[in-house]
Structure 1
Amino acid sequence: MVVPIPRHAPPPPTVSTSDLVEWFSAAVPEDWFRSDPGVAHDGDEIIVTGDLGKAGAGLTDEQQIVAFREATRDQRMEIAERAQAVFRRRVSWAASCGELEARFTHVAAPAMTRLRMEEREVLDTLIEAGVARSRSEALAWCVRLVGKHETDWIAELREVVADIREVRERGPDSGET
C-alpha cells in the first residue's frame, strides 16, 4: 500500500543522505544486499538501491534482479510504507547485479513551469522531430541532456547549495516560530 501524501501537505522534513542510509540499513534485512543500500533523495522521492553481487545458480544478472524483486516485494512494500510515514516522500526501489542496474518503481513528479515562446518552440521542435511526444516529455529530455553533459557543473552547484544550507542552519535564531 502506498501512503497517500496530501496535495497541500507541508514540505517533507529535512533529512540527510546519511540518516536515510542508516534508517534503511536498519530496516532492510541483512541478507538482501552485499553492503548498506545506496540512497538518493529529493523532496518527492527516496530511491533505495541494493547491490546483489554476482548472479548465482546459473542466472543472468537480469534474472537475479527479477528473482530478488519478486521474492522481496511484500517486505519492500512494508518498509516503504513505514519510511513514507516518517519521511513523507515516496520510496522507490532499485537493485544492481554485476553491471546491470534496474529500477522497480520511480516517481514521475510534475514540474510546472512557465515558458516563453522561444522556449516553447524548442520543445515543439523536439515534438515535431519525433524526439518527444509531448512538451512534458520534451522538457524531461532536455533535463536528462543537461544532467548527462553538465554533471560536473551540476555537482558543483549541489555542493554550493549544501554549503548554503549549512551556513543558514548555523545562523541566528530570530525567535519567531
Structure 2
Amino acid sequence: MITKEHDDEIRGWFAGRLPGDLFEGAPEVTADREEITVVGGIPAPDLAGSASPAERQAAAEGRLQEFRERTRERRMAVARDAERRFGRKVSWGAECDGVSALFTHVAAPVMTRLRQPERRVLDTLVAAGVARSRSDALAWCVRLVRRHTDDWLTELRDSLEHVERVRAQGPDVTHAREADAAPDTTDEQN
C-alpha cells in the first residue's frame, strides 16, 4: 500500500529535483504501485482578446505539443532518476489555459472475476457503443465511479493511512505470534 509518508517523499523529491522553470508553480504529483504521474501548468500563448474559443483551444494544444518536444530531454533525465529511486515508471502531462494533456502513461492490466450480472453491464456498454470491448467498458465504469465518489475515496484512503499508523505503533506481529505459540510453562494448581 502507498502510505501518506511515501506520497510525501515522492512529492518532496520531485519538488527538489524538477528544474525550477519547467512548470508554472508546483506540479501535481500522484503515485500508485506502478506509476508516478507529474502534471504541471505551463503559460498560455499570447492571443488577441477577441480570440474565439476554438482559437484558444488550438493555441493551447499547440503550446502543449511545443512544451512536450522542447522539454523531452530534461523530463527524461528526471524520470530516469525517479525510476531508479522509486522503482516505478514516471508519466508526464501538462495543463495550458484549461486544456490538459497526458504525454505518457502506464496502462496496467488488471485481472478481475465478474459474475454474469456484472458481465451483462459491460456487454450492454459494448453493444451500445459506449466502449469497444469489455476491458474498455470496465475502464469506463471505473472512471465514472471515480468522478462521482472522490469524497468517499478520499475518506477511505485517509482511514487506511490511519490504520497503517496504528499498526506501525503496535507490537511487532512476529514477536506476538512467537509468544502465542510458546508452550505455557506455568504450573497449574488443582
Answer whether contact 2:45 2:60 (CA < 8 A) is retained: yes
Look up the match of 2:37. 47
Q: TM-score, normalised by structure 2?
A: 0.78
Look up the match of 2:24. 34
Alignment length (residue pairs)? 166
User: Relative to structure 1, is the Cα distance of residues 12 and 90 closer, same or farther in structure 2, using a 3 angstrom cutoff?
Assistant: farther
User: Relative to structure 1, is the Cα distance of residues 131 and 154 closer, same or farther in structure 2, using a 3 angstrom cutoff?
Assistant: same
Gap runs ≥5 in structure 1: 1-10
Q: TM-score, normalised by structure 1?
A: 0.83
Look up the match of 2:101. 102
Alpha-carbon shift at residue 83 of structure 1 (Å)? 0.8
| 1:80-113 deviation per Cα after TM superposition (whole angstroms, max 9, x unaligned) | 1121111111110011122122111111111101
Q: Distance in 2 between matches of 1:101 and 1:71?
A: 17
Look up the match of 1:23. 13
Identity within the alignment, %: 46
Give the ranges of 4+ consecutive aligned residues of structure 1 lying more than 4 Å apart after TM superposition.
Answer: 11-15, 56-59
Q: Does residue 63 of the first structure (1) align with residue 53 of the second (2)? A: no
| 1:1-39 deviation per Cα after TM superposition (whole angstroms, max 9, x unaligned) | xxxxxxxxxx99996222112211222111111222220
Answer whether contact 2:4 2:161 (CA < 8 A) is retained: no
Q: Distance in 1 between matches of 2:149 and 2:67?
A: 34
Alpha-carbon shift at residue 57 of structure 1 (Å)? 8.2
Q: Distance in 2 between matches of 1:130 and 1:152?
A: 30
Q: Which amino acid counterpart does residue 132 of structure 1 have in structure 2?
A: A
Gap runs ≥5 in structure 2: 49-55, 176-190
Please identify, of 31-40 and 131-140, the stretch whose mean Cα deviation from structure 2 is larger. Answer: 31-40
Q: Which has the larger radius of gyration?
A: 2
Alpha-carbon shift at residue 125 of structure 1 (Å)? 1.2
Answer whether contact 1:131 1:138 (CA < 8 A) is retained: yes
Q: Which amino acid counterpart does residue 75 of structure 2 have in structure 1?
A: R
